[in-house]
Amino acid sequence: MKTRNITITCSTLCALLCLLPLHLFAVCPPAAEIEARATAFLEKRPLDLYSTELSLADAYCAQEKYVAALIPRFGQPIGYKVGFTSKGLQERFQIEGPALGVLLEKMLLPDGATFSLDSAYRPVIEPDLVVTIKDEGIMAAQNELEVAAHLDELRPFLELPAISFTKETQLSGTTLVACNIAARAGVAGAGRKVEATPAFVQALADMETVFTDETGALLQKEPGSNLLGHPLQAVLWLIEELQARGETLHAGQVISLGGFGKLFPLKEAGKTYTLTYMGLPGGPLSTSVTISE
């Protein structure tokens, strides 16, 4: 019987390895360390860094077990959050691009809700946007217009993450990924049906996101395009990430697309914050949250 010699170059091998799912390269932190951080989060205590530096694959492995420990308190997964969607946050936390976390049922609060400062360690607020998936056909979308055709509605969203580490802690993006990108809560306003038209899709990029307090003071004003160039680019990124994992988006899932600008520390009870989208077809769209002790 003849044998055939096969030569594989380094470049070919690297290309083949790049096709493998990220989780295959993960070295998950010890289960006891993950459980300790989930417990600290639930008890509103500061979290410790992991004992070893985490790769992104390691961080996602830790995230899966961390989220599982939160389910008894916050309910089942209802969707995803896309984090690090602005260059500023990517640079601040030394991460190359977006990352995903998991949204749990009780994290989503209704418009006008009250959020207690005592709900988390180092809570912050971030102007954001959520969309609801219409059908699984979205997994075939290649551009923003095709994404829009498979979305049900969009809602203004004030995310209320919890940094959960002391101010002195040197945080990296992978540290936050391991802790579910600081997901804690968020207030979502009334929805508006997404229109799969070029005009509506362009309006999402052109709209102004206006963040104010109860006095009317302007805290931040950023265009929709501040989020990855276009908010629906976050969905396209998520589709690619889930495809690499062999996973699928489903009808009814809620996706937080990421922040339009900065994170604002929450320090004072009695404040009310409002996020308004200006420039969308159908008029302004807003949501608000009141902060209590």
| pLDDT value, residue 24 | 53
pLDDT band at 9 (very low <50, low <70, confident <90, very high): low
Q: Which pLDDT belongs to residue 161?
A: 97
* pLDDT above 90: percentage of residues in the chain: 86
Segment 236-249 shows an average pLDDT of 97
Per residue, the 3-state secondary structure of the chain, as one string, reads CCCCCCCCCHHHHHHHHHCCCHHHHCCCCCHHHHHHHHHHHHCCCCCCCCCCCCCHHHHHHHHHHHHHHHHHHHCCEEEEEEECCCHHHHHHCCCCCCEEEEEEHHHEEECCCEEEHHHCCCEEEEEEEEEEECCHHHHHCCCHHHHHCCEEEEEEEEEECECCCCCCCCCCHHHHHHCHHHCCEEEECCCEECCCCHHHHHHHHHCEEEEEECCCCEEEEEEHHHCCCCCCHHHHHHHHHHHHHCCCCCCCCEEECCCCCCCEECCCCCCEEEEEEECCCCCCEEEEEEEEC
Q: Which of 6-20, 93-107, 198-212 has the lowest mean pLDDT?
A: 6-20
Find the mean pLDDT for residues 222-228: 95
pLDDT at 19 over 70: no
CA 219 → CA 62, 211, 228, 276, distances in Å? 35, 6, 21, 12
Q: Mean pLDDT throughout 140-155? A: 98
Model confidence at 92, pLDDT cuts 50, 70, 90, reads: confident
Write down the mean pLDDT value for the chain. Answer: 92
Least confident of 5-9, 193-197, 217-221, 279-283: 5-9
- In the predicted model, is pLDDT for residue 31 greater than 90? yes
pLDDT of residue 154 exceeding 60:
yes
Give the confidence band of 86 by pLDDT, cuts at 50, 70, 90.
confident
pLDDT at 204: 98
The size of the chain, in residues, is 293
Whole-structure pTM value: 0.89
Q: Which architecture characterizes domain 22-292 according to CATH?
A: Alpha-Beta Complex (3.90)
Q: Please report which confidence band the pLDDT of residue 220 belongs to, taking 50, 70 and 90 as the band edges.
A: very high
Residue 69: per-residue pLDDT? 98
